Amino acid sequence: MTFDYDLFVIGGGSGGVRAARVAAATGAKVGLAEEYRMGGTCVIRGCVPKKLMVFASGYSEMFDDARAYGWDVQEGPFDWSKFSAKLNTELDRLEGIYRKLLDGSGVEIIDARAKVKDPHTVTLSTGKDVTAKHILIATGGRPVIPEMPGAELGITSNEIFLLDEMPKSILIVGGGYIASEFAGILNGLGVQVTQFYRGAQILRGFDDEARGLVAEGMRAKGVDLHLGTNIVEMRAATAEDLAGVHKSVPMEGGKPATLPQKSAGHGIWVKATNGTEKVYDQVMFATGRAPNTEDMGLEEAGVEVGRRGEIVVDEYSQTRVPSIYAIGDVTNRVQLTPVAIREGMAFVETVFKGNPTAVDHELIPSAVFTQPELGTVGLTEEEAREKEPIEVYCTSFKPMNHSFAGREDRVLMKLVVSKETRTVLGCHIVADHAGEMIQLAGIAVKMGATKEDFDRTVAVHPTMAEELVTMKEPVRSA
């Protein structure tokens, strides 16, 4: 049978684009369909704009630091419109690069929505059907808004970049990395931030000691964090609400909850499980993400879809339909852009280079761009303790730059070590630039370095990271 393409990719995010380009380099005829903007979640509405907002928000503390170090500087208000315009220009530039890379690789770009019709056919929103020997689905995921009355008044991480102006106050609902990152970002930009999380501690799944320090640091910087708390109901604020007829309770850090100044007809009234009734300019839901598999024709084509909407694949990213593969967030394996890219490259090795390659999802370094920042690789102390006897090497201290400036911020350096093999099973860092540090520590952990390998490494002084190689005695064993 003759096909229109050797490979047709559905989705123009980082994973899909990389797979398309690398496959085309083998001589394959490749087409790629994207219904929105090239670059996907990471480039357009995720990692890149979020990190630029992290940078912007960090300057709020630098003015005080600069004065402490002898500089005569005066801070002014943050100009969202100026930042937003430059942000959009940068995203346009990056999208253009993605398109040029695809075009230069010989990939045919189709600006349309695509869905699977059968194992070798894709239907485009233009009304045209195209055929392909192989189909790769890389449609990513999307934020989910909970089902509750008034939820339609809220926004998600998708819309936060599109606001015409910064709100004076915002309620962020959720305790994962997206919720916690944006709590820090918006707080740093001068927004009055309240965060509700129904669990006992934010950043579930990360090391308990590390996430506890992150939460403590967020509160110290002004985030009104309420744990064990959720929304009971929410609705558009009435004139009575705006006049101040509401109940409030102190935030957990002891500061009183206050009603922002507002004009009639604006705002969202929220009643919480902790008894608070308050009006916010915005409510942002960061309560989970779902794979983009709706109305894709997958099950009709024989592709298995899991209970969370994810495409079920094997270790080679192949679905139960031999000609159809899936990579990235749509498979709900590890939702990280570099992982999607690795999966895309492994797919090409397997299908177009005759070299079956499974993706290694073990010991993946990652960073959470909260304030303070968290970097992690390997097992948490809690996970390791369940598997084998361990020793924990840990130190928390006030770093030189913060101490001199009079800030109370503390950092954490932690190694989780196997008693039997002395292998470093996990490394966890809470500090400025923790993401940069964990990338390098991740190499050692991935190579199977032992605690003694760390000890043999000469410290770089004076740095925060030197503590990773100078901790000689365990603080506890389990």
Q: Is residue 282 part of a domain?
A: yes
Same domain (yes/no): 282, 347: no
Distance of alpha carbon 459 from the chain centroid: 31
Helices 47-68 and 80-104: angle between axes, nearest 10 degrees: 140
Q: Is residue 224 part of a domain?
A: yes
Q: Is residue 255 part of a domain?
A: no
Q: Is residue 132 part of a domain?
A: yes
Quote the Cα angle for 7-11-14, to 5°: 100
Statement: residue 54 has pLDDT above 80: yes
The model's pLDDT over 439-473, given as tens digits with 9 standing for 90+, comes to 999 999 999 999 999 999 999 999 999 999 999 99
Range of the domain at 400: 366-477
Same domain (yes/no): 282, 296: no
* Catalytic site residue from 226, 402, 428, 461: 461
CATH number at residue 24: 3.50.50.60
Provide the annotated binding site for FAD: 51, 329
Q: Is residue 279 part of a domain?
A: yes
The model's pLDDT over 23-34, given as tens digits with 9 standing for 90+, comes to 999 999 999 999
The reported pTM is 0.93
Please confirm, yes or no, whether 461 is among the known catalytic residues.
yes
Domain count for the chain, please give it: 3
Same domain (yes/no): 133, 108: yes
pLDDT computed for residue 26 by the predictor: 97
Same domain (yes/no): 299, 202: no
Same domain (yes/no): 137, 163: no
Same domain (yes/no): 120, 169: no
Same domain (yes/no): 25, 119: yes
The model's pLDDT over 328-355, given as tens digits with 9 standing for 90+, comes to 999 999 999 999 999 999 999 999 999 9
Same domain (yes/no): 373, 332: no
Same domain (yes/no): 325, 427: no
CATH number at residue 430: 3.30.390.30
Q: Is residue 250 part of a domain?
A: no
The model's pLDDT over 119-170, given as tens digits with 9 standing for 90+, comes to 999 999 999 999 999 999 999 999 999 999 999 999 999 999 999 999 999 9
Q: Which residues contact 297 (CB under 8 A, 6 or more apart)?
A: 115, 116, 117, 123
Q: How far apart are CA 412 and CA 38, in angstroms?
A: 38
Q: Is residue 252 part of a domain?
A: no
Q: What is the CA radius of gyration of the chain?
A: 24
Same domain (yes/no): 43, 157: no
Provide the annotated binding site for NAD(+): 174-181, 288
Same domain (yes/no): 42, 97: yes
Q: Is residue 361 part of a domain?
A: no
The model's pLDDT over 78-114, given as tens digits with 9 standing for 90+, comes to 999 999 999 999 999 999 999 999 999 999 999 999 9
Same domain (yes/no): 9, 98: yes
pLDDT computed for residue 414 by the predictor: 98
* 260 — pLDDT class (breaks 50, 70, 90): very low
Provide the annotated binding site: 51, 174-181, 288, 329
